[in-house]
């Protein structure tokens, strides 16, 4: 392969040019370049929280919109999320030290009896891309495990996934468990999975049904911003 263009030297770019370039690099899933750009901004004295919000999350928002609109596809979104992670690894220790808060926190899992996790993982990654802290409980998660995790992590959002008509009623069991413990109103409950629909989501007392990962992110954002 021949290079048609000279390599861009990220360190030579102004802040503004660098950010534009990082949006492109996130979009193209270039992890090393995103990490390098992140380090340059840190070296220039940018606060970690500002880099996260104005560069990484803003860049992933562009990715999310194009995914929603069918311009980008799953492997590209996974690469973009991975490249964001490369930047996040540099920011995370600093964010932890400074006590900066994520835009929101989510506990997510596939409900008891169900072992499907591709969609759930995609939602988790997109949520991290949007600046949420995500606690993933994995597959086959019992109501008790959900309840314990909610008490421990105090998230804004509970996300549940089910891919089977036999397992989706278990979402109701989880919600009922939360209601019994007086916890239900402390969290926004989002549900998703192939056999679900809006009507089912309402019937079991969830706050919203999310058709795909992009919709899940938009919905979660609206809830934490109080615009839902």
Partner 1 sequence: MTQTVISSASREVVIGFETPFTVIGERINPTGRALLAEELKAGDFSCVEADALAQVAAGATMLDVNVGVPLTDEAALMAQAVTLLQSLTDVPLAIDSSVPEALEAGLEAYRGKALLNSVTGEEERLEMVLPLVRKHGAAVVAICNDDTGISPDIDVRFEVARKIIERAADHGIPASDVVVDPLAMPVGAMPGAGVQALELIHRLRTELKVNTTCGASNVSFGLPNRAGLNPTFLAMAIGAGLTSAITNPLEPTLMQAVRGADVIMDHDAQCQAWIRAHRAPAARDGRRRGRRRSRG
Residues that bind partner 1 (CB under 8 A): 70, 73-75, 78, 115-118, 121-122, 139-140, 164-168, 194-197, 199-200, 203
Report the side by side order of strands in the sheet with 104-110.
132-136, 104-110, 157-161, 188-192, 208-209
Nearest in space to 172 (alpha carbons), one of 195, 137, 143:
143
CB of 208 to partner 1, least distance (A): 16
Instruction: Name the DSSP letter for residue 141.
Output: B
Nearer to partner 1, 51 or 216 (CB): 216
CB of 175 to partner 1, least distance (A): 15
Contact 29, 79 (CB under 8 A): yes
CB of 200 to partner 1, least distance (A): 4
CB of 197 to partner 1, least distance (A): 7
Nearer to partner 1, 156 or 207 (CB): 207
Helix ranges (H only) for the chain are 15-27, 31-43, 48-51, 58-68, 74-98, 118-129, 143-153, 170-180, 198-203, 213-224
Instruction: Name the DSSP letter for residue 102.
Output: P
Nearer to partner 1, 214 or 220 (CB): 214
Alpha-carbon gap, residue 109 to 120, rounded angstroms: 7
Nearer to partner 1, 26 or 79 (CB): 79
Nearer to partner 1, 172 or 177 (CB): 172
Q: Considering Cα of 211, then 34, then 133, then 52, what sign does the dihedral take?
A: negative
Nearer to partner 1, 168 or 178 (CB): 168
Nearest in space to 94 (alpha carbons), one of 129, 134, 51:
51
CB of 181 to partner 1, least distance (A): 25
DSSP helix/strand/coil, 138 = coil
């Amino acid at each position: 392969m021949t290079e048609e263009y000279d390599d861009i030297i990220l360190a030579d770019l102004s802040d503004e040019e660098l950010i534009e370039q990082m949006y492109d690099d996130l979009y193209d899933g270039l992890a090393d370049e995103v990490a390098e750009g992140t380090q340059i901004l840190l070296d220039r004295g940018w606060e970690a929280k500002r880099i996260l919000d104005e560069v990484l999350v803003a860049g992933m928002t562009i990715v999310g919109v194009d995914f929603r609109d069918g311009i980008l596809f799953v492997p590209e979104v996974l690469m973009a999320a991975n490249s964001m992670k490369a930047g996040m690894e540099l920011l995370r220790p600093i964010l932890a030290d400074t006590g900066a808060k994520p835009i929101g926190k989510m506990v997510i899992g596939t409900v008891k009896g169900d072992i499907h996790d591709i969609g759930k993982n995609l939602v988790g990654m997109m949520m991290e891309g949007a600046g949420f802290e995500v606690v993933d409980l994995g597959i086959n998660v019992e109501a008790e495990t959900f309840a314990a995790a909610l008490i421990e992590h105090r998230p804004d959002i509970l996300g549940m996934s089910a891919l089977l008509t036999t397992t989706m009623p278990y979402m109701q069991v989880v919600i009922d468990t939360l209601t019994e413990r007086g916890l239900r109103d402390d969290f926004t409950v989002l549900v998703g999975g192939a056999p679900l629909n809006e009507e089912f989501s309402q019937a079991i007392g969830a706050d919203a049904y999310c058709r795909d990962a992009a919709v899940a992110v938009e919905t979660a954002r609206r809830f934490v911003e109080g615009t839902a």
